[in-house]
Chain A
């Protein structure tokens, strides 16, 4: 019972958050956080549990986003239907995606996913008649307040985490991990590795697509470079996964929280602190840094990737003992 206490407390806190905090800025950040919990959990399934590291998550995110957007744009159907549909469209994209990419193993699989992601991005840009090309899709958001979006996102986050955990603890979970550990051995144990890899990908694609649909509904605007973005979606998903902890239950949550914070730190120049400092001290240097840091989030991501892989390869959750030792050891030494 104690083990479940912390998650339940967190859940309760999340549930009442928008009622307690009225500042839309923070609500926005939390919605992003919840969205990334979904995407991170999905990536964790295909990469952490099944061992197939994909660089192409943006393909599913974008498919879901466009599904929702196009429904509204072409058929004048509310984009909320896209929420239901987005997941399935992403799966429809994911199946041939997987069929092509799973023929390769390891790093080649990763690169094939990257290539297909790029094909989709260019495709969306070129197919102007259908997708609006680089102009993108603009829809009217259904709600003015952020609160409904928050609860939808919360529902998605909880649903994705629970459903994925449920799957992982049963037969598919054992099969996924077996494939990760040794695909040939897994086959010899009667596991249809091709089927289960596709299954894992389909589930991951579904949830990532749903997240994409949410994004479309919430932000109101998408274009190929935003939703099929290698750096902002695919690599962000990977970072959420590895920073939090690959193959763990709560890794995606921790990772999502950290990454959204980092992303916002950069975008806002440490929440406007740097700009403020610059003006307050009149220091030209600080102001210059404040300006550049806003655009430097990709640099931050790059450095983060390098550092995390070297120092915390199993993420915050996975390497928690390591972190605890490092932090507490220095404290007692002082």
Chain B
């Protein structure tokens, strides 16, 4: 039994199949990269895992339990955290308050939430901005806040949705370091990313999809040289 698996997920929006039969498994402690051109169904898959959409068919199984019919907040409590592709800061709250709100999912007193939040903020390298309003942060800060918030819910599985988009080279290095640190800390990660450099360096395995279906799976090297993947990204001329 895999730590986490997604089985033949299908999602129709009206007549259009955004996701049409995606399956993959994730082992505890690994980093699985999810790649594919724009519109291939990656974020929709994440949305189905975290129950923002109900799958038209298929199953999501986490630690042996079917979760695809549970509400989003229960899935968080079970141990799956996520970040959003289009960041959702709780704008008029400070960074610290953002993370405290997340921390309350695991503890109940204000003191404990405060401590857990501070710890998480330090872990994610945000201590210097902890009292700033979330909406005052630049994009790199907001992306990092997404991660800090998700981490404060103490997830066993973390879904990262394009956390590197919009970052400059320095910020990218910092982001990669943070992700590695999170894995070392014991969290399993599934990451959607467009920036090849990022996803190739940190993923143990990669799962490629296009038009809502799996087109390749394997190590980064295997997938990078896979004909179907090259065709999906660069067109048939390059295959």
Contact A190 B77 (CB under 8 A): yes
What number of A residues sit within 8 Å (CB to CB) of B?
Answer: 19
Segment from A20-28, A65-73, A175-183 that makes contact with B: A175-183
A192: nearest residue on chain B (CB-CB)? B73
Kindly list chain B residues whose C-beta atoms are within 8 Å of the C-beta of A185: 84, 88-90, 149
- Whether A261 sits at the interface, judged by CB under 8 Å, is no
Range of interface residues on B (Cβ < 8 Å): 20 to 34
**B50 near A191: Cβ-Cβ < 8 Å:** no
Contact A190 B76 (CB under 8 A): yes
- Chain B residue at minimum C-beta to C-beta distance from A187: B72
Q: For A177, A187, A193, which residue has the most chain B Cβ atoms within 10 angstroms? A: A187
Q: Chain B nearest CB: distance from A288 CB in Å?
A: 48
* CA of A185 to CA of B145, assembled, Å: 12
Interchain CA distance A178-B97 in the complex, whole Å: 9
Across the interface, A191 reaches (CB within 8 A) one of B73, B81, B89, B92, namely: B73
- A174, B101: Cβ atoms closer than 8 Å: yes
A174 close to B84 (CB less than 8 A): no
Contact indicator A188/B90 (Cβ below 8 Å)? no
Closest B-chain residue to A181, C-beta based? B90
In the complex, are the beta carbons of A171 and B113 less than 8 A apart?
yes
Q: Is B168 an interface residue (CB 8 A)?
A: no
Cβ-closest chain B residue relative to A194 = B71
Closest to B76 in A: A190
In the complex, the answer to whether A188 meets B92 with C-beta atoms within 8 Å is no
Q: Does A184 contact B (CB under 8 A)?
A: yes
Give bound CA distance, A20 to B88, whole Å. 53
Q: How far is the CB of B31 from chain A (nearest CB, A)?
A: 20
> Which residues of the partner chain A approach B88 to less than 8 Å between Cβ atoms?
182, 184-185
- Not counting A181-B93, A190-B102, a sample of 7 additional A-B residue pairs whose C-beta atoms are within 8 angstroms of each other reads A171-B113, A174-B100, A182-B88, A185-B90, A188-B82, A189-B76, A190-B73
List 4 tightest A-B contacts by C-beta distance, closest first: A190-B105, A190-B76, A185-B88, A181-B90
Task: Give me the interface of B with A, judged by CB distance under 8 Å.
Answer: 50, 52, 71-73, 76-77, 81-82, 84, 88-93, 97, 100-102, 104-105, 108, 110, 113, 149-150, 152-153
Interface residues, chain A, with chain B CB atoms under 8 Å away:
169-171, 174-175, 177-178, 181-182, 184-193
Q: List 26 A-B contacts (CB under 8 A).
A: A169-B110, A171-B110, A171-B113, A174-B97, A175-B101, A177-B90, A177-B93, A177-B97, A177-B101, A178-B93, A182-B88, A184-B88, A185-B84, A185-B88, A185-B90, A185-B149, A186-B90, A186-B101, A187-B72, A187-B73, A187-B76, A189-B76, A189-B101, A189-B149, A192-B73, A193-B73
